[in-house]
């Protein structure tokens, strides 16, 4: 059983750039180890994350993430069962986009989505573009 969860949240204002880099690095390593795919974005003090993987793992992880004091105002966008993980076919690594690398990388990411996974592209591109203030 596979599950996907997506949410937006507000980053705690006390987080420094170093804290953010540390979090991004941790998330990439941990999710790749656990074969969790998706994306984490940070822009203007907010997070947007899509997680997909084995149901039990995703539910446990989201529970931990919800209790993490590094962010608050967590609003779920979706939480649903999926037949297959969408990202894993072509994004072998969990993707993290921060302020510094955001726009070009996001465009590349969305272009890949569009060609490999048009259904997913529709729901993610709207949200991601608004989130990153590209449109
Ligand atoms: C915005 C945000 C996103 C996070 N995303 C992940 C994630 O995708 N994977 C992960 O393992 N931890 C993530 N974390 C960290 C978890 O909240 C938690 O600190 C971590 O899973 C604890 O791991 P441990 O049980 O090994 O101590 C995130 C934290 C924040 C604030």
> pLDDT, tens digit, for every residue of 90-126?
666 788 887 655 677 777 777 877 887 777 777 778 7
Q: Is 65 in the pocket of ligand 1 (CB under 6 A)?
A: yes
User: What Cα–Cα distance (Å) separates residue 8 from each residue in 52, 58, 73, 83, 133?
Assistant: 15, 16, 8, 24, 14
Sign for the CA dihedral angle at 107, 38, 70, 76 comes to: positive
Q: How far apart are CA 114 and CA 93, in angstroms?
A: 18
Coil vs helix vs strand at 69: coil
Going from the Cα of 65 to the center of ligand 1, the distance in angstroms, rounded, reads 5
Helix count and strand count (H, E) for the chain: 4, 5
Whether pLDDT at 11 is above 60: yes
Verdict on whether the full-model pTM lies above 0.75:
yes
| Domain limits, the chain | 2-100
CA of 103 to the centre of ligand 1 (A): 24
Q: Residue with the nearest Cα to atom 27 of ligand 1? A: 64
Q: 115: CA distance to ligand 1 center in Å? A: 30
Instruction: Write out the CATH class of domain 2-100.
Output: alpha beta
Distance 64 CA to ligand 1 centre (A): 7
Q: What percent of the chain has pLDDT over 90?
A: 52
Lowest mean pLDDT among 50-54, 73-77, 99-103: 99-103
pLDDT of residue 91: 64
Question: Which pLDDT band, with edges at 50, 70 and 90, does 15 fall under?
Answer: very high
Cβ of residue 42 lying under 6 Å from some atom of ligand 1: no
Shortest-distance Cα residue to atom 31 of ligand 1: 70
> What is the per-residue pLDDT for 77?
87
């Amino acid at each position: 059983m596979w599950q996907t969860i997506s949410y937006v949240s507000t980053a705690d204002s006390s987080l420094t750039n170093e804290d953010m880099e540390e979090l991004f690095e941790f998330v990439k390593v941990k999710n790749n180890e656990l074969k969790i795919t998706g994306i984490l974005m940070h822009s203007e003090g907010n997070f947007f994350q899509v997680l997909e993987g084995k149901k039990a793992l995703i539910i446990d992880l989201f529970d931990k993430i919800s209790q993490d004091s590094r962010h608050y105002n967590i609003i779920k966008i979706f939480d649903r069962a999926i037949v297959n993980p969408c990202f894993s076919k072509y994004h072998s690594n969990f993707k993290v986009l921060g302020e510094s690398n955001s726009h070009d990388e996001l465009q590349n990411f969305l272009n890949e989505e569009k060609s490999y996974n048009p259904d997913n592209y529709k729901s993610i591109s709207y949200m991601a573009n608004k989130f990153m203030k590209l449109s």
